[in-house]
């Protein structure tokens, strides 16, 4: 494997777990009118043994955020933890069943323009994941090599000067916040061990709904 490729192995899992435990997570307190959601950043292997994360393209028939890039996830049910919600949504959306013991850690809560607070959960998958996406929710699932996140994000001016819009380049396109912000923090915290915050980064207007 070329030196610039990140292998999917136990060394990487241990490194990510240590970094996530070392960098203190920032949580957003519950308040009226805010809906809670969780997303799963699942690290798996591909045919070449590279560490990848799972990224979905949302179905074009969905009422909200149709056709957008997204991490598997959804609303947290009453009495449910973010960790449990992320694993449930993984199974419901892409047919991937993982256990609580596969959870590596969590990232900062990200408040969205649409009134959600998203809790990202980092989960360790398998070297050969078996996926069965629900076509009513997911158009496609992609295994994206983690090393592609080495490319620096692009920032645009937003409606609020202190809140630039973040977008992460992938395959000649851009993944915007909230997904782009979450992926950027995962790379900075879990891979580099840097206490990087992203909640202040804004979303483009098309992602507000």
Taking only the tens of pLDDT, the chain with its 209 residues reads 444 789 999 999 999 999 999 999 999 987 777 899 999 999 999 999 999 999 998 775 655 655 678 999 999 999 999 999 999 999 999 999 999 999 999 999 999 988 899 999 999 999 999 999 988 889 999 999 999 999 999 999 989 989 999 999 999 999 999 999 999 999 999 999 999 999 999 998 877 66
pLDDT at position 1 is: 46
DSSP letters for the chain = --TTSPB-SHHHHHHHHHHHHHSPPPPPPP-TTPEEEEEEEEEEE-TTSBEEEEEEEE-TT-SSSTT-EE-SEEEPPTT--HHHHHHHHHHHHH-----GGGEEEE---EE-TTSEEEEEEEEE--SS------TTTEEEEEEEEGGGGGSPPEEE--SSTTSPEEEEEETTEEEETTHHHHHHHHIIIIIT------TTPBPPGGG--
pLDDT at position 62 is: 56
Where are the chain's structural domains? Answer: 10-147
User: What superfamily does domain 10-147 belong to in CATH?
Assistant: Nucleoside Triphosphate Pyrophosphohydrolase (3.90.79.10)
pLDDT at position 4 is: 74
pTM of the full structure: 0.93
């Amino acid at each position: 494997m070329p030196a610039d490729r990140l292998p999917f192995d136990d060394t990487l899992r241990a490194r990510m777990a240590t970094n996530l435990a070392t960098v203190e997570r920032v949580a957003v307190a519950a308040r009226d009118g805010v809906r809670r959601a969780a997303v799963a950043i699942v690290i798996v292997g591909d045919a070449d043994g590279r560490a990848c994360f799972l990224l979905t393209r949302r179905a074009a028939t969905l009422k909200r955020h149709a056709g957008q890039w997204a991490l598997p996830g959804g609303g947290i049910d009453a009495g449910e933890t973010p960790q449990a919600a992320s694993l449930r949504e993984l199974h419901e959306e892409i047919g991937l069943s993982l256990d609580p013991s596969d959870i590596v850690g969590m990232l900062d809560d990200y408040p969205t323009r649409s009134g959600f607070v998203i809790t990202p959960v980092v989960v360790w998958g398998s070297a050969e994941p078996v996926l069965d996406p629900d076509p009513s929710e997911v158009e496609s699932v992609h295994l994206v090599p983690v090393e592609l996140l080495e490319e620096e994000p692009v920032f645009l001016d937003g409606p609020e000067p202190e809140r630039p819009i973040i977008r992460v380049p992938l395959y000649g396109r851009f993944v915007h916040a909230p997904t782009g912000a979450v992926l950027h923090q995962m790379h900075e915290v879990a891979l580099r061990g840097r206490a990087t915050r992203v909640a202040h980064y804004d979303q483009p207007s098309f992602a507000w709904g």
